[in-house]
Amino acid sequence: MVWNIFKNKKPFSGRESRFFELLARQSLKSLEGLEALWNFAENGTKENANLVRNIEREADELRRILVEELDKTFITPLDREDIYALSRAIDDVLDYANTTVDEMEVYGVKGDQHIKDMVNILRKAARELNDAVKILKDYPRIASEHAVKAKSYENEMEKAYHLALADLFKGTDTIYMLKMREIYRHLSNAADRGDEAANIISSIVMKHT
């Protein structure tokens, strides 16, 4: 049974309201992680790298808690599948950020202008997603507007990704090209997962309004 939360004016209590809180905490943690990734792209210190990793671990813990809550809860305020999918998509964005840091360190490369531009796009998309998730329960239509804005950044990322590849393939250092292409790909994949999160939010709003 799924309650139509957007027409019910009574506040949720207990475990049902908990799902919105956990999703909001997850989306905020994702935003924090991308801000940390930006700092790493600007200044690739070990401290900045570890900050991304620490935030990613904290986000994983939040997702584990949410999944545990799903397992223990019979009645959920949204479709169980939507809660799980939205949580997973948000988590995937930060996973790709973490992988980007790992590979930049392993490959011994620094953040070039294309990486910085792509991370900045991810930051802006994450802000829109966070704005959407934190008001999803009480202001679904406004949340949907933020989701639409978040989706627009996926298109912006696609352009930035292809521009980065075009510039990269003008070079002659094949090993460097392979390293950077992999990093660009991770950032592009992060944007795809952000787009998926935005789609799920839009779907939730359509179902319940």
Residue whose C-alpha is closest to residue 41's, from 131, 123, 160: 123
Domain boundaries, the chain: 14-208
Q: Mean pLDDT over all residues of the chain?
A: 90
**CATH number, domain 14-208, options 1.20.58.220, 1.20.1060.10, 3.40.640.10, 3.30.70.20:** 1.20.58.220
Task: Annotate 73-87 with three-state secondary structure.
Answer: CCCECCCHHHHHHHH
Please check the confidence at residue 207 and state whether its pLDDT lies above 60. Answer: yes
Helix (H, G, I), strand (E, B) or coil at 32: helix
Beta-bridge mates of residue 2: 76
Q: Which residue has the tokens 């905020």?
A: 28
Q: Which residue has the tokens 């990734």?
A: 37
User: Within a 10 A sphere around the Cβ of 74, how many other Cβ atoms?
Assistant: 7
Beta-bridge mates of residue 110: none
pLDDT tens sequence across 51-65: 999 999 999 999 999
pLDDT tens sequence across 78-135: 888 999 999 999 999 999 999 999 999 999 999 999 999 999 999 999 999 999 999 9
